[in-house]
Chain A
Amino acid sequence: MIRVVLPAHLQTLAAIQGEVTLDVKGKLTIQTLLDALEMKYPMLRGTIREHVTLKRRPFLRYFACQEDFSLESPDTSLPDAVAFGKEPFLVVGSVAGG
Chain B
Amino acid sequence: MSKVRVLVGTKKGAFILTSDALRKQWKVDGPHFAGWEIYHLKGSPIDPQRIYVSQTSGWFGQIIQRSDDGGKSWHQPGTPSGKTATTPEGRTLGESNKFVYDTAKKTGRALTTHQWYDGTQHPWEFKRIWHLEPSLTDPDLVYAGAEDAALFVSKDGGKNWKELSGLRGHKSGKEWMPGAGGMGLHTILLDPKNPNRMFIAISAAGAFRTDDAGKTWMPINRGLKSQFMPDPEAQVGHCVHRIAFHPSKPDVLYMQKHWDVMRSDNGGESWHEISGNLPTDFGFPIEVHAHDPKTVYVVPIKSDSEHFPPEGKLRVYRSKTGGNEWEALTKGLPQKDCYVNILRDASSVDTLDDCGIYFGTTGGQVYVSPNGGDSWETIVHDLPAVLSVEAQVFK
Residues of A that sit less than 8 Å from B by CB: 7, 9-10, 13-16, 38-48, 50-52, 57, 59-60, 93-94, 96
Contact = CB atoms under 8 A, between A and B. Distances in A.
A12 B62 CA distance: 15
A47 B79 CA distance: 14
B81 A9 contact: no
Given A16-B82, A40-B84, A46 B98 contact: yes
B387 interface: no
Nearest to B101: A52
B100 interface: yes
A8 to B, nearest CB: 8
Contacts of A96: 58
20 contacts: A7-B60, A13-B60, A13-B76, A14-B81, A40-B84, A42-B79, A42-B85, A43-B94, A43-B97, A45-B97, A45-B98, A46-B62, A47-B60, A47-B61, A48-B60, A57-B59, A59-B59, A93-B59, A93-B60, A94-B59
B60 A42 contact: no
B28 to A, nearest CB: 21
A15 B93 CA distance: 16
A96 B58 CA distance: 10
Contacts of A52: 100
A51 B100 contact: yes
A45 B59 contact: no
B115 interface: no
Contacts of B61: 46-47, 50, 57
Contacts of B60: 7, 9-10, 13, 47-48, 57, 60, 93
B229 to A, nearest CB: 32
Nearest to B92: A42
Interface in B319-373: none
Given A13-B63, A14-B81, A46-B62, A38 B92 contact: yes
Contacts of A13: 60, 63, 76
Interface centre among A40, A43, A93 (most CB of B within 10 A): A43
A51 B93 CA distance: 13
Contacts of A39: 84, 92
B35 interface: yes
B81 A43 contact: yes
B36 interface: yes
Contacts of B82: 14-16, 41
A15 B84 CA distance: 13
Contacts of A94: 59
Contact of A42 (B62, B63, B94, B99): B94
Contacts of A16: 82
Nearest to A35: B92
B377 to A, nearest CB: 34
B81 A15 contact: yes
B49 interface: no
B57 interface: yes
B92 to A, nearest CB: 5
A9 B35 contact: yes
Contacts of B95: 45
Given A14-B81, A39-B84, A45 B58 contact: no
B49 to A, nearest CB: 22
B63 A47 contact: yes
Nearest to B99: A51
Interface centre among A47, A48, A59 (most CB of B within 10 A): A47
Contacts of B94: 38, 42-45
